[in-house]
Structure 1
């Protein structure tokens, strides 16, 4: 193995956004990720979204995954994959990119020392970013009127609690009723808050001129449902936001109407508390658990099966990390979406199922025989 692997890998990580611009020039920065079509799979097609994502800020820099093909790895694996080469070829590409090939041994040693210092700085920045991410999830859920942007999201009127009778809540109640999952105090009191106007942050315009990234224009504003995603100990670390059309009882007219801000891994939205009526982090009384990917699917169970706890994980990938090891979980019903013919979703389902089963509890999988999920069944949709 190459004697300069460490400085090549560290150097590529230190310049990860430039690496992505070189390898994936058709991609763009979205949040802390570089999002692009997969040139190896040639997967660009009408109706699809780019599925190759590389971490460029706030986390394990250089880590990447194609959510369509399942390919993943670190920054050197990214070079191997995109360049269609092996580790030897990836290192050669890295040397050229970083200008290492022309360096003297002394210069390489100096670079190695400098990269060690930068790695320590990156680790410290990553920890600060992680803590900030945790704070953002809580702050966006409990947003107060007049606050400045929260983690890059504008929510000028704040959020209103369930039962306050706000116009935003009335509008959201109409939305859920149209989905045949009317929310009540059991399902909504502890997990929903309502915003008359939250920025759909995917629509924001960013400017990198002058070497400093700043928001040049905010994304469009929509009424929204803010849902608390809680860790095993009840702490809100992520806010799930469902954007609604301002006039009709439908989702907002954007390509992705549900977004999450904060640390979602291992966090769930508690939609029903089962017979005990106690939060999952405050009781050891066992009860069956129903877990689903989306809120509407989970609500379809919450309004019909009072003897079960019901959680929504926000997305399929996060189900694997749900805290089903808690004493209050007797056994698990995994209410999966159908996603017929979707190979990516099937791989994610298998990972999610393995994660649930790893705790040694009984896991039963059910899929709706109508439509894509159980909410389609509740609505009577084909």
Structure 2
């Protein structure tokens, strides 16, 4: 712990109960401890904060019996407010303690690792690094609920059990989330896309905006599969993964929105691009723009259209056989043999 963090942690520990009453307001005092559900101020009794120093340890230390997590009161501030960077946590702690802001320091190349601004590329990379593969998680359950069972070569999809969600009004919440890495043509992460999920994975979380992206997205996509001379690109992750159920060996790239689909960058090796269309005006505009861009670079562009609103709707309502038959009719003949042979 740095000198600044140690000093702030010590000062907060001297006022441990006041800190808990302010930042863990859904808990209550029992004896020498403050009990609450978790560090995000969920009601419950799993997490306990020591309010007074004792033979068991100093004041201000906490442990979550359900998860094994532990820390100090700086972590309580971070978790309860959904803060990402230490500078934000330190500013909040100083405000609570009525301390003056620190003296500004001159810029120096030896000052250590800079904090990552909220929504930045670095913050996106850190979130992805903190997430884990989707196998066996609620994210996998969510995709299977939508008929998506083939999940090979999906290393750019991960799961975070408690991803922060900030509503327009109200306190920060945490929900399980599917985290998708957005990468450039070299594979470098430039952003992430978050899909907040219901705790049982049955659907998206009941929040106003269950899908949000952060970082630099223009021209970049979520890469699924190994790049080749042929690939497919579409808008939503679920839509593209639905198509991959019947074309399991084709590289695909969700661009996350119609506007970003129209602006994707092409690999020099690309010779044929399948444009996965959504049946709406924005999808039509993206298709037209992308066809013109692809043709201008000598890339054959073929539009794949769903029978219903999108390919995930086709998969769920019409079934795998109907989806396969619909797609087969729209592929170049050589690609039927190359990419659909294992799915027939």
Large movers: runs of 4+ above 4 Å? 129-132
State the Cα deviation string for residues 34-87 of structure 1 (Å, max 9, x = none): xxxxxxxxxxxxxxxxxxxxxxxxxxxxxxxxxxxxxxxxxxxxxxxxxxxxxx
TM-score using structure 1 length: 0.49
> Where do residues 363-378 of structure 1 align in structure 2 (5 Å cutoff)?
363-369=301-307, 371-378=308-315
1:175 is the counterpart of 2:142: yes
Shift of 1:301: 2.2
**CA–CA distance in 2 between the matches of 1:176 and 1:345?**
23
> Where do residues 262-273 of structure 1 align in structure 2 (5 Å cutoff)?
262-273=215-226
Q: Which residue of 270, 287, 290 corresponds with 1:352?
A: 290
1:335 is the counterpart of 2:300: no
What 5-or-longer segments of structure 1 have no aligned partner?
1-128, 144-158, 206-216, 274-279, 281-285
Shift of 1:230: 0.5
Cα pair 2:145 2:202 within 8 Å, conserved: yes
1:187 is the counterpart of 2:187: no
Cα pair 1:290 1:333 within 8 Å, conserved: yes
Q: Which of the two has higher C-alpha Rg?
A: 2
TM-score using structure 2 length: 0.54
Show the counterpart of 1:26: none
RMSD: 2.7
Shift of 1:313: 0.7
Show the counterpart of 2:128: 141
Cα pair 2:235 2:254 within 8 Å, conserved: yes
Shift of 1:354: 2.9
What 5-or-longer segments of structure 2 have no aligned partner?
1-115, 320-344
Query: Paired residues, what number?
Result: 205
Shift of 1:221: 1.6
**CA–CA distance in 2 between the matches of 1:252 and 1:227?**
16
